[in-house]
Structures are given as C-alpha cells and as structure tokens.
Amino acid sequence: MADWKDDLEIYLKEQKKNKRELKQRKEEIQKAARLFVHEEVLTAFEDLRKEFKKHKREVEIDNKKDWAAILIKKNKHKEFVYEVNITIDDGDLLASKSVYFPNDKGKLKLGVEGKIHNPANSMLIGHIKQHDIINDFLDAYKDATRLK
C-alpha cells in the first residue's frame, strides 16, 4: 500500500522541480529579450533619431518588453514606421520586423513583415546587431519614401 504513496510523493516533487526550472528558464528568456531590445534595438533607434533630427524629421520611439518601434514624421505627417518584434520559438528568441508607410490617403499601412537582414541570414537575436537593424531600417525607409 505504501508504494503508491511513494510514487505520488516522487511525482509531486518532480512536478515542483520542473515548475521551478520552467520559471527560471522563462525569466532568463525574458531578460535576454529585454537586453536585446535595450542594447541593440533602442540603441540603433537612438542613433537614427539623432541623424533624422539633423534633417528636420520628428522621431518617436516606443518600446515594451518584447517590441520596439520608431516613427518618422515629416512636416507633422507620419512618413514611416519600423517595428522590431521579439518572439519565442522552441526556446529560441527570434526578431522580426514590420514596416508601415502611408497610403495615398496618408494612413499608415503594413508594407513589409519579415526577417531583419544580417550576415548570418538568421532571425535569432544573437545574430542581429545594432548596425544590422540600422542598415535594414535604411533599406526599408528608402524603398518606402522613394519618389515614384
């Protein structure tokens, strides 16, 4: 009769251990995401802000724990938005972009979603650096604002 009690005790101890390990892993992932957003993404956005201000553009930067965006305004009109989104896939942190630009009526619409170009051709945050974000932003900005 004691076998099932031992079995139950072992099972519940294992559950508690697994729960603690999962919580610790989740905290590590969240910390890595915050670090990437602050050290790579926001630093890139701040560098872009400095340069755009020299060219009389208003720049707004917004961020949350797994997302950051930069909005460029020209003459008080929204000209371009570039977002970096962080997601988790099988325990790996991935970064992707969303690019918005105005339609004929001046309303922002989603233009491009996808990978941030980098030498490793990877979405893993460990492969994406500040200069990759800046270069990808500039490519998208030039495409979206080019006179046609």
pLDDT in tens, 63-120: 998 899 999 999 988 999 999 999 999 889 999 999 998 887 878 899 899 999 999 9
Which residue do the tokens 């990877």 mark? 122
Predicted local distance difference test score (pLDDT) of residue 1: 54
pLDDT of residue 17: 86
Full residue range of the structural domain in which residue 94 is found: 2-145
pLDDT in the model for residue 148? 57
pLDDT of 34 reads 93
Give the number of domains in the chain.
Answer: 1
- pLDDT recorded at residue 113: 94
Q: What is the reported pLDDT for 90?
A: 86
User: At 48, is the pLDDT very low, low, confident or very high (cuts 50, 70, 90)?
Assistant: very high
Sheet with 77-89, strands from edge to edge, namely 58-64, 67-74, 77-89, 92-102, 108-115
Task: Report the predicted TM-score, pTM, of the whole model to 2 decimal places.
Answer: 0.85
Q: How many Cβ atoms from other residues are within 10 Å of residue 95's Cβ? A: 27
User: 42-54 and 130-145 are packed helices; what angle lies between their axes, rounded to 10 degrees?
Assistant: 50
Tokens of 68: 């950051």
- The per-residue pLDDT for 102 is 85
pLDDT of residue 145 exceeding 70? yes
Query: Average pLDDT in the 30-41 region?
Result: 94
Task: Give the chain's mean pLDDT.
Answer: 92
Query: How far is Cα 12 from Cα 40, in angstroms, rounded to an integer?
Result: 42
